């Protein structure tokens, strides 16, 4: 009997299955998810208030200038920057929800609303969990999810793992990199704030410590719709304020609990499902996937199973070939 590819693969599959069964039986306990990771007490974040957004897209332009991003042309005339979504050339984008006559701002029926899409900076990020070389990182102090292109191997696991579809890979260069919002950490290192918050004229996007953001969220949720209230611009505690009637917020702050919480929070008068954000559970995906990985790889069980299966198949195929040599 000749040792061909088919016989070898069949033998490897059989041997691997047998060893895998033995290995699984020897595992003392099933894989268990770890708890969600905790928020750093010094974490910084952003708050986007859809009811304050006027759709000017100053944040989109400011982000591009701060990060040296090129124009993202999506029209035939190619006259100006027209990003349709986040991507390698666009780290944040403003989208429009509209229904029926779209006469009323921040109403679902016959209304319209704006929503901002960018990196959510998860407390327990999937992209960091799956990266095999730690090119994706989470700062232990600020909580910012950053990216190191110098050690990235281009596997794009981060792209596939993110529940928000944030990390994006370049496709127009022979050495592609991952592109995403890093909350302008290079500007923060210089004592500045994220560009999107700095240029927002209404305070729809505001930056600050997450503890202060949580307090501001509670203040706004307690407002009575229609009554005049003061809203800050740029950073919480800046003193740069303007007055306007409070909106009717829905009873959901997006990012408080989704996949273990995020450092980019959203408030709105329209449901987030209609605004294009997914309905996600509170348990982070990283907490479960790491539990499975650590169980399989504890004691190198999984690699031993694969290697053992291949060795067994090779020896078996060799014996068969010795017993039935070719004529």
pLDDT in tens, 272-316: 999 999 999 999 999 988 866 555 555 555 565 666 667 666 666
Same domain (yes/no): 161, 293: no
- Say yes or no: 327 and 270 in one domain: no
Range of the domain at 50: 44-282
User: Taking all residues of the chain, what is their mean pLDDT, rounded to a whole number?
Assistant: 88
Whose tokens are 């750093």? That residue is 40
On the question of pLDDT at 75 being above 70, the answer is yes
pLDDT value for 66:
98
96 beta partners:
114
Among 120, 114, 68, smallest CA distance to 272 is for 114
Q: b/e map of 81-91 (b: 16 or more CB within 10 Å)?
A: bebeebbbbbb
Give tens-digit pLDDT for 14-31.
554 444 454 444 444 555
> What is the band of 323 on the pLDDT scale with cuts at 50, 70, 90?
low
- Taking only the tens place, the pLDDT of each residue in 76-132 is 888 889 999 999 999 999 999 999 999 999 999 999 999 999 999 999 999 999 999
pLDDT digits (tens, 9 = 90+) for 164-211: 999 999 998 999 999 999 999 999 999 999 999 999 999 999 999 999
Instruction: Give the max Cα distance, the chain.
Output: 96
Q: Are residues 229 and 306 in the same domain?
A: no
**What pLDDT digit, counting tens, does each position of 201-234 carry?**
999 999 999 999 999 999 999 999 999 999 999 9
**How far apart are the two ends of the chain, measured CA to CA in Å?**
10
Residue keyed to tokens 């792209």: 159
| One domain, residues 111 and 183 | yes
| Per-residue pLDDT at 104 | 95
Name the percent of the chain lying above pLDDT 90.
75
Distance, in Å, from the CA atom of 240 to the CA atom of 233, rounded to the nearest integer, reads 6
Is residue 223 located within the same domain as residue 76? Answer: yes
Rounded CA gap, 119 and 96, in Å? Answer: 18
**Do residues 316 and 208 both lie within one domain?**
no
Return d(Cα 109, Cα 270) in angstroms, integer: 9
More confident residue, 107 or 4: 107
| Number of compact structural domains in the chain | 2
Position 278 in a domain: yes
Model pTM?
A: 0.81
């Amino acid at each position: 009997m000749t040792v061909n590819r088919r016989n070898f693969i069949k033998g490897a599959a059989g041997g691997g299955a047998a060893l895998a069964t033995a290995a699984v039986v020897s595992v003392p306990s099933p894989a268990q998810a770890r708890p969600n990771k905790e928020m750093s007490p010094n974490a910084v974040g952003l708050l986007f208030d859809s009811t304050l957004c006027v759709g000017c897209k100053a944040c989109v332009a400011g982000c591009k200038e701060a990060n040296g991003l090129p124009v993202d042309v999506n029209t035939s005339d190619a006259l100006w920057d027209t990003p349709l979504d986040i991507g390698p050339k666009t780290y944040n984008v403003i989208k429009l929800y509209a229904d029926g006559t779209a006469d009323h701002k921040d109403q679902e029926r016959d209304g319209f609303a704006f929503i901002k899409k960018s990196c959510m900076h998860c407390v327990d990020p999937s992209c960091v969990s799956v990266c095999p070389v730690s090119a994706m990182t989470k700062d232990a102090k600020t909580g910012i999810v950053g990216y190191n292109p110098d050690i990235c191997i281009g596997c794009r696991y981060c792209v596939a793992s993110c529940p928000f579809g944030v990390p994006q890979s370049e496709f127009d260069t022979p050495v592609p990199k991952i592109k995403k919002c890093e909350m302008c950490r290079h500007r923060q290192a210089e004592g500045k704030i994220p560009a999107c918050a700095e240029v927002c004229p209404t305070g729809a996007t505001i930056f600050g410590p997450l503890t202060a953001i949580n307090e501001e969220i509670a203040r706004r949720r307690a407002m009575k719709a229609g009554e005049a209230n003061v809203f800050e611009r740029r950073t919480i505690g800046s003193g740069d304020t303007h007055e306007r009637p409070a909106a009717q917020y829905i009873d959901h702050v997006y990012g408080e609990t989704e996949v273990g919480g995020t450092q980019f929070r959203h408030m709105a008068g329209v449901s987030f499902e209609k605004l294009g954000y997914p309905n996600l559970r509170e348990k982070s995906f990283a907490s479960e996937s790491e539990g499975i990985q650590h169980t399989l790889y504890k004691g190198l069980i999984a690699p031993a199973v694969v290697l053992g299966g291949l060795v067994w198949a090779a020896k078996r195929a060799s014996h068969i070939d010795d017993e039935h040599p070719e004529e």
